[in-house]
Amino acid sequence: MQIMKLALAAGLAAMTAAPALAADYKEEYKISTVVPAPFPWGIAAETWAEMVGERTDGRIKMKVYPGAQLVSGDQTKEFTAMRRGIIDMAVGSTINWSPQVKELNLFSLPFLMPDYAAIDALTQGPVGDKLFEILSDKGVVPLAWAENGFREVSNSQKPIHTPEDLAGLKMRVVGSPLFNDTFTALGANPTQMSWADAKPALTTGAVDGQENPVSVFAVAKIYEVGQNNLTLWHYVADPLIFAVNQDVWDSFTPEDQEIVRQAAIDAGAKGIEIAREGMTGNDKSAIEAIEAKGVDVVELTEEERQAFIDATRGVYDEWKEKIDPELVDMAEESIANR
């Protein structure tokens, strides 16, 4: 009897030592993304899932579901679905979440951020902290930043050096009113459509052009559907956010919460590094690889870029009021002091 009591006590001790509530964890946690690996976005999400699995010894199993398939392909519904618990986690675009979180339109203000240091000044400074507070108040737990990159413009008709070159072009844009306003101000005819519909539309000529990061242009081989003109204008950037549904987060032990958070930070850093590869400093290999495919790549001069800034200033000022003037002022100050 004494032996049985000792065995029972040992078993209870072992159970107590096991991570609390681990038995209540789901068999799988679903991560929503828009694009898979080998896009930097997809790599960041996959890395997060792999790191968490390794660092929790399999207690937390996460799987990436690309193509916004958890929200029937409508990427603008991703944030709401995560907040409601329909999906567990996401590595989401600030653009796609902006319909529900107006402050995230900050990153889509035309020509706010001139370089990568400006992006970092926002995401890694007081602006990033403020945005995470806003997201936390909306029922999700933001953990870390990653990056889709600066969105550049391409088309099948002609090189773009001036706003006048965009006049009349049918341009695919994401589902954000701010993008629609920006391209309208530049004289183009913007057409909002999901990423799933974009490449077929380019293939058939239903639209003349599109705007996306260079990494997306290259990995998706957009140059194969007539997009033989690419202009690097850095007009907006597309930071990504790692986030978890609040109830899912609360179900994790504090120790596992820290593991999930740190894994997101590490995966985000890797994603940013990959998104910028061949695009910074003396390394222009990503651009050179696109030029080797027969694409005419235009890099705007300061004077040329200023013409676009001037043409969209009215949109900038209008949306600054809609987003939050104090937040935009904070962003402008962070960039000026970068």
Give residue-wise pLDDT tens across range 88-131.
999 999 999 999 999 999 999 999 999 999 999 999 999 999 99
Cα 37 to chain centroid, rounded: 14
Would residue 20 count as lying in a domain? no
Would residue 140 count as lying in a domain? yes
Band of residue 1 on the pLDDT scale cut at 50, 70, 90: very low
Q: What residue type is 101 in one-letter code?
A: V
List the one residue out of 66, 308, 313 whose CA is nearest residue 196.
66
SS3 of 67, please? coil
Would residue 101 count as lying in a domain? yes
Would residue 6 count as lying in a domain? no
Is-contact 212 141, C-beta < 8 A? no
List the one residue out of 115, 72, 113, 108 whose CA is nearest residue 93.
108
Would residue 107 count as lying in a domain? yes
Would residue 257 count as lying in a domain? yes
List the one residue out of 46, 41, 16 whose CA is nearest residue 31.
46
Instruction: Classify the C-alpha dihedral 330-333-335-338 as positive or negative.
Output: negative
- Please return the burial class of 240, using the count of CB atoms within 10 Å of its CB with bins 0-12, 13-18 and 19+: buried
Would residue 2 count as lying in a domain? no
pLDDT of 290 over the 90 cut: yes
* 29 phi, psi to nearest 5 deg: -110, 125
Q: Distance between CA atoms of 337 and 314, rounded to whole angstroms?
A: 24
Q: CATH no. for residue 106?
A: 3.40.190.170
pLDDT digits (tens, 9 = 90+) for 134-173: 999 999 999 999 999 999 999 999 999 999 999 999 999 9
How many domains does the structure of the chain reveal? 1
Would residue 128 count as lying in a domain? yes
pLDDT digits (tens, 9 = 90+) for 194-240: 888 898 999 999 999 999 999 999 999 999 999 999 999 999 999 99
Band of residue 21 on the pLDDT scale cut at 50, 70, 90: low
Task: Give the domain extent around 134.
Answer: 28-336
